C-alpha cells in the first residue's frame, strides 16, 4: 500500500501467486503410484501404470491414470504431457475422490444361481 492508501492489485496478485500451488515446479514425468493436480482446471490424477501395449496409441508408451471422479484416462508419454501438472499429496486426492464417488460399503453382489434347463 502506498502513502496515499491506494492498493496496487498487481502487487497483491503477485504476492498471492508467489505461494500458490500453480507457482510450484511443474512435473517432468508422471510416476506410477503418485498423485498430481492441474490447478487451473481443478483436475487431480493418480498415475496407475505405464504401458506400451496400446493398439489405440500405436504402441507408444501411455500413462494410464484415474481422476478424482473415477474416470480412467490414457495419455501418450511425451514431453508436453506433464506441462501444467504439479505433485499432490495422496490424502488430498483420496478425500476429493471420496466426495465425488460413492463407493459400495459391502462386497460385490453374489453371483446369480445357475439355471437348470
Q: What is the pLDDT of residues 13-44, one digit of tens each?
A: 666 655 555 556 677 899 999 999 999 999 99
Distance CA 56, CA 114 (A): 37
Q: Extract the C-alpha cell encoding 96.
A: 476429493
Residues 100 and 69 sit within 8 Å (Cβ to Cβ): yes
What Cα–Cα distance (Å) separates residue 16 from each residue in 20, 79, 83? 7, 29, 22
**Positions of E strands within the chain:** 35-38, 43-51, 62-67, 72-76, 86-88
Rg of the chain's alpha carbons, rounded to an integer? 21
Q: What is the mean pLDDT of the chain?
A: 83
Distance CA 12, CA 38 (A): 23
Question: Per CATH, the architecture of 26-100 is what?
Answer: Roll (2.30)
pTM: 0.67
**pLDDT at position 23:** 59
**pLDDT at position 31:** 94
Q: Which residue carries 498423485 as its cell?
A: 35
Amino acid at each position: 500500500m502506498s502513502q496515499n492508501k491506494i492498493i496496487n492489485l498487481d502487487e497483491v496478485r503477485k504476492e498471492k501467486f508467489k505461494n500458490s500451488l500453480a507457482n510450484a515446479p511443474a512435473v517432468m514425468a508422471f510416476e506410477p503410484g503418485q498423485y498430481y493436480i492441474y490447478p487451473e482446471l481443478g483436475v487431480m490424477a493418480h498415475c496407475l501404470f505405464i504401458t506400451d501395449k496400446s493398439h489405440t496409441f500405436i504402441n507408444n508408451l501411455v500413462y494410464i491414470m484415474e481422476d478424482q471422479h473415477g474416470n480412467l484416462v490414457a495419455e501418450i508419454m511425451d514431453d508436453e504431457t506433464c506441462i501444467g501438472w504439479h505433485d499432490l499429496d495422496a490424502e488430498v486426492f483420496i478425500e476429493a475422490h471420496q466426495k465425488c464417488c460413492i463407493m459400495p460399503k459391502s462386497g460385490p453382489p453374489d453371483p446369480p444361481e445357475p439355471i437348470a434347463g
